[in-house]
Homo-oligomer: A and B are copies of this chain.
Amino acid sequence: MAARDDISAEERLIARYFRPLATHPGAFSLGDDAAILTPPSGCDLVLTTDGVIAGVHFFPDDPPESIARKALRMNLSDLAAKGAKPLGFLIAVSLPAGIEEKWLAAFAAGLGEDAQAYRCPLLGGDTDRTPGLIAVSITAVGAVPQGKMVRRSTAKAGDCVLVTGTIGDAALEVWLRRDHALTERLRLPEPMRAHLRDRYLLPRPRNVLADAVRAHASAAMDVSDGLAGDLAKLCRGSSVAAEIDVARVPLSDAARAALAAEPALLETVLTGGDDYEIVLTLPPTQLPAFGAAAQTAGVAVTEIGRVSAGEGVRFLRDGEALTFAHLSYSHF
């Protein structure tokens, strides 16, 4: 009979790699069935869940630390767009048998770095062996003053449409990694490739802008499935239309270079997703104050169009409305 394992290998693994991340007192160092969270008084909790699967949301040879950080940041991005302050997160990790401790150590290190940077400690988790692929599912919890979560459904005709950061970088990187002929054709200089790679591996959720979004936006959502499709969801939810001036959609130098060489990539830029920027609407009167807040926070924001009565989103280039095969990334 084998030696008694009073402490199972699963417990040891959790203790070694995940317990150090559970800095929230309500996480009980992951030593209980559940975590507690005493909600900040006068606040609503904001809950979101998003995950990644190898081969779908990341390339299996992506660095483990960035896989972890991206999975957390996808959720932080939802909280940012809703004007919420992160309180903590729970994680479910499924690991194939071949995964080495080294991989897990790097994964946990990346996760811990971001948990600290975004003040979003680990509250609880679930680790499983899977006969399938690496999968990570995260649920993040945030707080907003009661009744103040920024919705998708509250945009008004006449509002300006704004977006943070730049659009399309991550989607271009995915395209380039899958299409070597295209990569050869574009021959982007290495610093530009590095920029796209970084934008794909490490989204920059705009949590520093959460308070400003809550103070000024009439509606907001995070851009994860593509600007075109996500804005369509926002407009549908708000029963309004929008017109976007494609020339004003903010692009990185790398994206501009890619588009100059291959104009058809515009569809990838506008519908590919994985941006983790915020698209928001606000009354024109709020524009100066929001702009000032964004500048203070160090986040670029760009006005790209207007909300109007009606339905549908039109992306206008030289006065012509673009048509897309698909507005956004869909898993089904």
Which residues of A are in contact with B by a Cβ distance under 8 Å? 1-2, 4-13, 26, 28, 31-39, 43-51, 53-57, 78-79, 81-82, 84, 90-92, 94, 123-133, 135, 137, 139, 141-142, 144, 146, 149, 151-153, 221-222, 225, 229, 232-233, 236-237, 312, 323-328, 330-332
B53 adjacent to A128 (CB under 8 Å): yes
Q: Name the residue on B nearest A92 (C-beta).
A: B137
Dominant secondary structure at the A interface: mixed
Q: Name the residue on B nearest A237 (C-beta).
A: B31
Copy count, this protein chain: 2
CA distance A157 to B191 in the complex (A): 65
Which residues on the B side are within 8 Å of A326 (C-beta)? 2, 5, 8
For the A-B complex with A6-B236, A56-B130 known, give 5 more contacts whose Cβ atoms are closer than 8 Å. Answer: A5-B330, A35-B46, A49-B139, A57-B128, A131-B133
Which residues on the B side are within 8 Å of A54 (C-beta)? 132
Q: Name the residue on B nearest A40 (C-beta).
A: B39
B221 adjacent to A56 (CB under 8 Å): no
Among B13, B90, B135, B324, point to the contact of A49 (Cβ < 8 A): B90
Which residues on the B side are within 8 Å of A33 (C-beta)? 48, 78, 81-82, 152, 221-222
Among B47, B57, B222, B325, point to the contact of A37 (Cβ < 8 A): B47
Which residues on the B side are within 8 Å of A139 (C-beta)? 47, 49, 90, 139
Check A128/B82 contact, CB under 8 A, given A38-B44, A221-B32.
Answer: no
